[in-house]
Chain A
Amino acid sequence: MKRSMRIVIVTTAAALLLGALFAVPPALAGDLVGTVTARGVRSPENVVIYFGNKLSPDELPPPAENPVMDQRKLTFIPHVMCVTVGTTVDFPNNDEVPHNVFSPSPVKKFNLGTYKAGVVKHVTFDKAGLVPLLCTIHPEMSAFILVLETPHWAVTGKDGTYRIGDIPAGSYKVKTWHEKLKPAVEKVDIPETGEVTLDLALRR
Chain B
Amino acid sequence: MILRGSRLGGLTAVFLLTVLVTLLVQVDASAIPAFARKYETSCTTCHVIYPKLNAYGEGFRNSGYRFIGNDEELVKQEDIPMGADAWKHVFPHGTWPGALPRYVPLAIRGAFGAAYYPDDDVKDSSFQTPWEASLMWGTTLGERISTYGKVNLDGGSLDRAFVRFNSIFGNTLGENSFNVKLGKLEAGIVPYSLTRFIGISVPLVYGINRSEGDFTYGARTRGLEVDGLLGHNFKYTVGMANGSNSFRDDDDNKDIYGRLACKIGGIGLDGYSKALEEGGELPQTNNWTDNSFTIGISAYEGTETLDDMIENDVSRLAVDARLQLGNLDLYGIYIDEEDSNPFGREEGAVFEPWESSVWFAQADYVFLPWVVGYLRYEELEDAIDPREGPLENLERFVPGVVLAIRANIKLTLEAQLYQDDFNGDVYQAMIDLAF
Contact = CB atoms under 8 A, between A and B. Distances in A.
A42 interface: yes
Contacts of A132: 86, 89
A134 B90 contact: yes
B84 A40 contact: no
Interface string B211-239: 00000000000000000000000000000
B97 interface: yes
B246 interface: no
A41 B73 contact: yes
Contacts of B90: 104, 134
Given A132-B89, A134-B90, A140 B83 contact: yes
A183 to B, nearest CB: 14
A40 B86 contact: no
B93 interface: yes
A108 to B, nearest CB: 12
Contacts of A104: 89-90, 93-94
A69 B83 CA distance: 20
Interface in A149-204: 179-180, 203-204
B69 A180 contact: no
A22 B128 CA distance: 100
Given A104-B93, A139-B97, A134 B86 contact: yes
B69 A133 contact: no
Contacts of B84: 134, 139-142
A42 B89 CA distance: 22
A133 B84 CA distance: 10
A40 B85 contact: no
A124 interface: no
A144 B86 contact: yes
A53 interface: no
B106 to A, nearest CB: 25
A116 B71 CA distance: 38
B83 A139 contact: yes
B87 A40 contact: no
Contacts of B97: 139
Given A104-B90, A105-B89, A144-B86, A42 B81 contact: no
Interface string B50-92: 0000000000000000000111110000000111111101100
A177 B235 CA distance: 34
Contact of A179 (B69, B72, B73, B85): B85
Nearest to B81: A140
Contact of A40 (B70, B81, B82, B83): B70
Nearest to A103: B89
Given A140-B83, A142-B85, A142-B86, A40 B73 contact: yes
Contacts of A133: 86
A204 B69 contact: yes
Contacts of B70: 39-40, 204
Interface in A97-153: 104-105, 132-134, 139-142, 144
Contacts of B87: 134, 139, 142
A180 B86 CA distance: 10
A47 B192 CA distance: 44
A203 B86 CA distance: 19
Contacts of A204: 69-70, 72
Contacts of B69: 39-40, 203-204
Contacts of A134: 84, 86-87, 90
A132 B94 CA distance: 14
22 contacts: A39-B70, A39-B73, A40-B69, A40-B73, A42-B72, A42-B73, A104-B89, A104-B94, A133-B86, A134-B86, A134-B87, A134-B90, A139-B82, A139-B84, A140-B84, A141-B84, A144-B86, A179-B85, A203-B69, A204-B69, A204-B70, A204-B72
Interface of B: 69-73, 81-87, 89-90, 93-94, 97
What are the 4 A-B residue pairs with the smallest beta carbon separation, nearest first? A142-B84, A139-B83, A132-B86, A142-B86
